[in-house]
Amino acid sequence: MKSLLFLLGLAIATPALAPPALAQGIDEMPKVHARLVAEDLAAPPGGSITVALEEDIREGWHTYWVNPGDAGAPSEIAWTLPQGWSAGAIQWPTPKRLPVGPLMDYGYEGKLWLLQTLTVPADAKVGDTVTLKAVATWLVCKDICVPEDANLTLPIKVGPAAPDPAVAKDFAAARALLPVASPWKLTYARSPAAIDLYVDAPALSAARPVEADFFPGKPGIVKGAEPQKMGFVKDGLVLRVSPGDKAGAMTGALTGVLVLKSSDGSIQALNVDAPVGPVPDAFGAQAAGATESGITLWIAILSAFLGGIILNAMPCVLPILAMKAMALARHGGGQHNEAAREGFAYSAGAILSFLAFGLVIVLLRQGGAAVGWGFQLQEPIAVGAFALLMFAVGLNLSGVFEVGSVTVGDSLAQRSGPAGAFFTGVLAVAVAAPCTAPFMAAALGFALTQSVTPAMLIFLGLGIGFALPFLILGIWPKALSFLPKPGPWMLRLKQFLAFPMYGAAAWMVWVLAQETGANGVAIVLAAFVTFALATWLWTVTRDLSLRGRGLGTVAALLVLLASLYGLSLLHGAGAPPPATSATADAKPFTPERLASLRASGKPVFVDATAAWCITCLVNEKAVLSQPGIKTAFQDRKVEYLIADWTNRNAEITRLLSENGRSGVPLYLYYAPGADKPVILPQILTEAGVLNAMKS
Model pLDDT for residues 605-621, shown as the tens digit of each residue: 999 988 878 778 888 88
Q: How confident is the model at residue 292 (pLDDT cuts 50, 70, 90)?
A: very low
Whether residue 409 is predicted with pLDDT greater than 70 in this model: the reply is: no
Cα distances (Å, whole numbers) of residue 62 to 56, 77, 95, 171: 10, 17, 11, 21
Tell me what the mean pLDDT of segment 532-536 comes to. 88
Whether the Cβ atoms of residue 181 and residue 269 lie closer than 8 Å to each other:
no
Say what the pLDDT of residue 483 is.
Answer: 60
| Contact partners, residue 648, CB within 8 Å, separation at least 6 | 370, 371, 375, 378, 379
Say what the pLDDT of residue 423 is.
Answer: 81
2-177 and 587-693 share one fold: no
- Lowest mean pLDDT across 28-32, 209-213, 337-341: 337-341
Alpha helices in 147-223 (DSSP H): 168-176, 202-207
Whether residue 363 is predicted with pLDDT greater than 80 in this model: the reply is: no
For residues 284 and 40, give the distance between their C-alpha atoms in angstroms, rounded to a whole number.
54
| Contact partners, residue 599, CB within 8 Å, separation at least 6 | none
91 vs 102, which has greater pLDDT? 91
Tell me what the mean pLDDT of segment 431-440 comes to. 70
Q: How confident is the model at residue 216 (pLDDT cuts 50, 70, 90)?
A: very high
Tell me what the mean pLDDT of segment 298-304 comes to. 87
Domain borders along the chain are: 2-177, 181-286, 295-378+403-500, 587-693
For residues 497 and 185, give the distance between their C-alpha atoms in angstroms, rounded to a whole number.
52
| Contact partners, residue 547, CB within 8 Å, separation at least 6 | none
399: alpha, beta or left? (left if phi > 0; alpha if psi -120 to 50):
left
Burial of residue 405 (CB within 10 Å: 0-12, 13-18, 19+) is exposed
Whether the Cβ atoms of residue 665 and residue 642 lie closer than 8 Å to each other:
no
Tell me what the mean pLDDT of segment 572-599 comes to. 71
Rounded to two decimals, the pTM is 0.49
- Look at strands 211-216 and 254-261 and give their pairing: antiparallel
Share of the chain above pLDDT 90, in %: 32
Whether residue 177 is predicted with pLDDT greater than 90 in this model: the reply is: yes
Tell me what the mean pLDDT of segment 515-522 comes to. 83
Collapsing DSSP states into helix, strand and coil, what is residue 655? helix
Cα distances (Å, whole numbers) of residue 139 to 452, 511, 520: 47, 55, 57
Tell me what the mean pLDDT of segment 342-354 comes to. 88
DSSP state, residue 284: S
Q: Which of 251, 250, 256, 204 is nearest to 231 (CA)?
A: 204
Best-predicted range by mean pLDDT (254-263, 574-583, 659-668): 254-263
For residues 9 and 11, give the distance between their C-alpha atoms in angstroms, rounded to a whole number.
6
For residues 315 and 220, give the distance between their C-alpha atoms in angstroms, rounded to a whole number.
42
Whether residue 406 is predicted with pLDDT greater than 80 in this model: the reply is: no
| Contact partners, residue 357, CB within 8 Å, separation at least 6 | 429, 433, 459
For residues 53 and 229, give the distance between their C-alpha atoms in angstroms, rounded to a whole number.
35
For residues 324 and 342, give the distance between their C-alpha atoms in angstroms, rounded to a whole number.
11
Q: Number of helices (H) and strands (E) in the chain: give both, helices first.
A: 21, 24
Say what the pLDDT of residue 41 is.
Answer: 94
| CATH topology classification for 181-286 | Immunoglobulin-like (2.60.40)
pLDDT in tens, 135-162: 999 999 988 889 999 999 999 999 999 8
For residues 480 and 461, give the distance between their C-alpha atoms in angstroms, rounded to a whole number.
26
Burial of residue 242 (CB within 10 Å: 0-12, 13-18, 19+) is middle
Whether residue 38 is predicted with pLDDT greater than 80 in this model: the reply is: yes
pLDDT in tens, 54-72: 999 999 999 999 999 988 9
Whether the Cβ atoms of residue 475 and residue 337 lie closer than 8 Å to each other:
no
| CATH topology classification for 2-177 | Immunoglobulin-like (2.60.40)
Whether residue 287 is predicted with pLDDT greater than 60 in this model: the reply is: no
Whether the Cβ atoms of residue 256 and residue 216 lie closer than 8 Å to each other:
yes
Tell me what the mean pLDDT of segment 369-394 comes to. 76
Q: What is the mean pLDDT of the chain?
A: 81
Q: In what order do the strands lie in the sheet with 96-100?
A: 63-69, 103-108, 96-100
Say what the pLDDT of residue 10 is.
Answer: 43
Q: How confident is the model at residue 407 (pLDDT cuts 50, 70, 90)?
A: very low
328 vs 491, which has greater pLDDT? 491
Say what the pLDDT of residue 477 is.
Answer: 60
Burial of residue 106 (CB within 10 Å: 0-12, 13-18, 19+) is buried
pLDDT in tens, 98-136: 988 788 999 999 999 999 999 999 999 999 999 999 999
DSSP letter string, 385-435 = HHHHHHHHHHHHHHTSS-SS---TTHHHHHSSHHHHHHHHHHHHHHHHTT-
Architecture of domain 587-693: 3-Layer(aba) Sandwich (3.40)
DSSP state, residue 642: E
pLDDT in tens, 444-496: 777 766 667 888 899 999 999 998 988 887 777 666 666 666 667 667 777 88
Q: How confident is the model at residue 565 (pLDDT cuts 50, 70, 90)?
A: confident
